[in-house]
Every structure is written in structure tokens, then in C-alpha cells.
A and B are shown apart, each in its own frame.
Chain A
Amino acid sequence: DTGVSQNPRHKITKRGQNVTFRCDPISEHNRLYWYRQTLGQGPEFLTYFQNEAQLEKSRLLSDRFSAERPKGSFSTLEIQRTEQGDSAMYLCASSAIVITEAFFGQGTRLTVV
């Protein structure tokens, strides 16, 4: 499978716990994006990497959120001290520089109880 892969697909956590999600982009895609989607809404941009450099972070990305892409390949998104408002679908997408279409993974559904 050469698409964008996200793990885990589902995560249930207690409020206050830390969680980490992983995204493996399409091979050779330089750009990697994280989006968040709540019920009934379209995805909202969180952050973006070009290779290993994090080039932009949305205001939605509070201090409790951190994303990394250490070797310019896979990326992780960590949420510390989770809150119920963090419950959402977290989507990862990747694209090449020349071809701008972004391809999405299946997402990680986070439920904070």
C-alpha cells in the first residue's frame, strides 16, 4: 500500500493523559500536513512540514501540541495533558512540491473521556 498511513486508527484516553499519533506519508512526498476535524466540520489546518522543517503552525495548535518529522519521512503528533475538547479526528496528508494535490490518510479518531 503506497498511500498515507496513520496509526493508531482509534485512541481512547483519559483526560490528562498524553497521546502520540504517527503518520507515514507517501514515499518521496516532501510535504506533510496535520489537520483536525470535528464532527460536522471540514478539516482544519494544524501544521505543516517541508522535509524535516516545520514551516507553519496554526493558532489551533496550543502549547500542549507538538509535532515532529525528524528525518523528513514519518511524522508524530503528540498531545500532552489531553482535554475533552481535543476529541476529534486527526488527519495527516502529504504532497509533493511540484504536484500540489494533497492525499490524506484514514485518520486517527481520538476520544478523551
Chain B
Amino acid sequence: GQQLNQSPQSMFIQEGEDVSMNCTSSSIFNTWLWYKQEPGEGPVLLIALYKAGELTSNGRLTAQFGITRKDSFLNISASIPSDVGIYFCAGQLRPGGTSYGKLTFGQGTILTVHP
């Protein structure tokens, strides 16, 4: 099936550092979503992007929808220990309307933050 390539696979950083991760696809998506998942829990939505070129922030998180619609990135500034978790990108083919809204996920980026 359709795959998203997410990189890096893992990151080990010091508290206070900035983090950047990205996601690429061979296909165009109309919506990009970024989720965070902690062990034993379901993914929690962080940011949703709807337009090519869109740059959206949520606190220390900033995400952008690539102009080609085939990529997205997520930045975390001034990381803190509670940022630890697995970050997933997800693409959706069509927003709203009669589409089913199925999400295609990347493989995830494991983030470890050392105090």
C-alpha cells in the first residue's frame, strides 16, 4: 500500500535543543496531520495542515505543509523531557466532503530527550 517515509527514525537530544523531523510521500496528499504517541496509548493529534505551503504553530511545535503536497515537516523548539514519545506524520487524500478520510501513517520518529 501507499507509504510515507518519515525521518529520522530516532533522535537523542539534550533538553533545550530544537528538533526537526520530516515526512515525504510519492503521492499527493490534501491534508497532513502530526500525532504524538506515548507507550501504551493512542496517538494524540498535535497539528493539522490543510493547504500547500501552510505553516501552523501549536505552542513550541511548528509544522509546514510542503508546496508540492508530497511532504511535511515538524519542528519542536526548546525541547523538554515530556516531549519524549513517538511522532507520526499522517496524510489524508481529501479533506471533508464525501471522502472517507483514511489516514496513511509514516513509520514514526522516536524522540528521546536527556535532561
Binding site for B on A (CB under 8 A): 4, 6, 31, 33, 35, 40-45, 48, 50, 55-56, 91, 93, 95, 97-107, 109
Cβ-closest chain B residue relative to A98 = B96
B100 and A101 contact, CB distance less than 8 A: no
User: Is residue B66 within 8 Å, beta carbon to beta carbon, of the partner chain?
Assistant: no
B96 and A42 contact, CB distance less than 8 A: no
Complex Cα–Cα for A60 and B1 (A): 10
B104 and A45 contact, CB distance less than 8 A: yes
Query: With A48-B100, A97-B97 given, can you name 5 additional A-B contacts, CB distance below 8 Å?
Result: A42-B88, A91-B43, A100-B48, A101-B48, A104-B44
Q: Which residues of A contact B35 (CB under 8 A)?
A: 104
Complex Cα–Cα for A103 and B96 (A): 15
A82 nearest CB across to chain B (Å): 21
B101 and A100 contact, CB distance less than 8 A: yes
B44 and A100 contact, CB distance less than 8 A: no
| Cβ contacts B84-115/A at 8 Å (1 or 0 each) | 00001010100111001111111110000000
Complex Cα–Cα for A95 and B100 (A): 10
- Candidates A6, A41, A106, A109; contact of B107 at CB < 8 Å: A41
Q: Which residues of A contact B48 (CB under 8 A)?
A: 100-101
User: Is residue B31 within 8 Å, beta carbon to beta carbon, of the partner chain?
Assistant: yes
Binding site for A on B (CB under 8 A): 1, 4, 6, 31, 33, 35, 40-45, 48, 88, 90, 92, 95-97, 100-108
Q: Which residues of B contact A45 (CB under 8 A)?
A: 102-104
A64 nearest CB across to chain B (Å): 20
- Candidates A56, A105, A107; contact of B100 at CB < 8 Å: A56
A4 nearest CB across to chain B (Å): 8
A109 and B96 contact, CB distance less than 8 A: no
B81 nearest CB across to chain A (Å): 22
Q: Which residues of B contact A56 (CB under 8 A)?
A: 100, 102
Complex Cα–Cα for A45 and B104 (A): 7
Cβ-closest chain B residue relative to A42 = B105
